[in-house]
Chain A
Amino acid sequence: MFMCKDVVENIMGYIDCELDLQTLKELEKHTGDCPECMTFVNTYKRMLEITGKLKDKPFVTPEIRNRLRVLLKSKVKPV
């Protein structure tokens, strides 16, 4: 019998569309009947949306870039 635990342990395969048809059917059937699992799947997807937004976050300030430039000039012999 498919349980909440099985939804949790198959969630990555579900998101990546890697589940076999039987497992997919059972997961969707259980999730449709179980509000806890439905919430789990929905919040899991939302979490991935948020973390996906972190990709384009700029890190390197002009000051950091400048310190690198100065360092490279002092350490690397000109060609």
Chain B
Amino acid sequence: MEIGFIKKLINVIVSNDNEQITGISDDELIRRYTQLGDESSFEEIVNRYSDRIYGFALRITRNTNDAEEVFQEVFLTLTKKLHTFRGDSKFSSWLYRVTVNTSYMYLRSQKKHENNISLENYSPYDEKGTLMGRIRYKDWSSRPDIVIFNKESVLIIEKAINELPESYRTVFHLRDIEGLSNEEVANILEISIPAVKSRLHRARLFLRDKLSDYFYEWRR
């Protein structure tokens, strides 16, 4: 029997399960694609991870055209390298790692590498260690949800996140937006857990200040 025919036959058998494909684990999808050549399994991986890959690439590059270039390159890479995924970490972590590497390579090729600024000394308190006169007059914590969660405040926070230096932005995105653990973020970015915590801490202080400024100005 022709090999092509057998592969097509396998595809037909596998495609009978398509209506249930959304319930299949990542590992099984990878097996079906790499071992059986099942394209619908690859499409399901694309469906599951497109927003996360594009969103992360956009967070790193801060440019929609660059993010789309990275997004396409990541999935092209997957078609070639998916068989190298060993399952030592979660597939999503492996994919974020591929996205980080692809983004950095892309930015280097475009000579768009960002100078990293340290926020390690960023803090809201004065040299005596007090917050006296610095926080309360800008209190926005009791604003109604309709004001806090409107489109404009979301735009403000997006803009503020993009003002963070890259090493803080990536940590903040993976930890607070994607909801990954400190350990997962450390593995993806190949930094220590204390470094994750430290960058996240400064990023949050920076963003809290930015939101306070925005809501204070908005009230005036």
Interface residues of A (CB under 8 A from B): 3-9, 11-12, 34-37, 39-40, 42-55, 57-60, 64-65, 67-68, 71-72, 75-76, 79
Which B203-218 residues have C-beta < 8 A from chain A? 204-205, 207-208, 211-212
B79 is an interface residue with CB less than 8 A from chain A: yes
Q: How would residues 45 to 88 of chain B score, 1 for a CB under 8 Å from any chain A CB and 0 otherwise?
A: 01000110011001000000000100110011001000000000
B72 touches A71 (CB 8 A): yes
**Are the C-beta atoms of A54 and B50 separated by less than 8 Å?**
no
A55 neighbours in B (Cβ, 8 Å): 177-179
A-B contact list, 6 entries, CB within 8 Å: A37-B131, A47-B211, A49-B148, A54-B177, A59-B58, A68-B46
Q: Which of A11, A54, A60, A65 is most buried by chain B, counting CB atoms within 10 A of its CB?
A: A60
The 4 A-B residue pairs whose C-beta atoms are closest, nearest first, are: A79-B37, A5-B129, A42-B141, A36-B131
Whether A59 contacts B51 by the Cβ 8 Å rule is: yes
- Name the distance in Å between B52's Cβ and chain A's nearest Cβ: 9
User: What is the CA–CA distance of A47 and B76 in the complex, to the nearest angstrom?
Assistant: 37
Q: Tell me if A36 and B132 are in contact (CB < 8 A).
A: yes
**Is B27 part of the contact surface with A, judged by Cβ < 8 Å?**
no
Q: Are B50 and A76 in contact (CB under 8 A)?
A: no
Main secondary structure of the interface of A (DSSP, over half): helix
Closest to B49 in A: A60
Given contacts A50-B153, A51-B157, contact A64 B130 (CB under 8 A): no
CA distance A4 to B125 in the complex (A): 7
A50 to B204, CA, bound (A): 12
**CB proximity of B143 to chain A, nearest CB, Å:** 8
Q: In the complex, which residue of chain A has the Cβ closest to the Cβ of B46? A: A68
- Please indicate the chain A residues that have their CB under 8 angstroms from the CB of B54 in the complex: 59-60, 64
- B121-161 residues with Cβ-Cβ distance < 8 A to A are 123-125, 129-136, 138-142, 148-149, 153-154, 157-158, 161
Task: Assess the A12–B129 pair: CB atoms within 8 A.
Answer: no
CB within 8 Å of A: which of B71-111?
A: 71-72, 75-76, 79
Contacts of A48 on B, CB cut-off 8 Å? Answer: 176, 204
Report B-chain residues with C-beta under 8 Å of the C-beta of A67.
68, 72
Please tell me if the beta carbons of B197 and A60 are within 8 angstroms of each other in the complex: no
The contact of A44 among B123, B158, B177, B204, by CB within 8 Å, is B204
Q: Which residues of chain A are within 8 angstroms of B51 by Cβ–Cβ distance?
A: 57-60
Whether B75 pairs with A50 at a CB distance below 8 angstroms is no
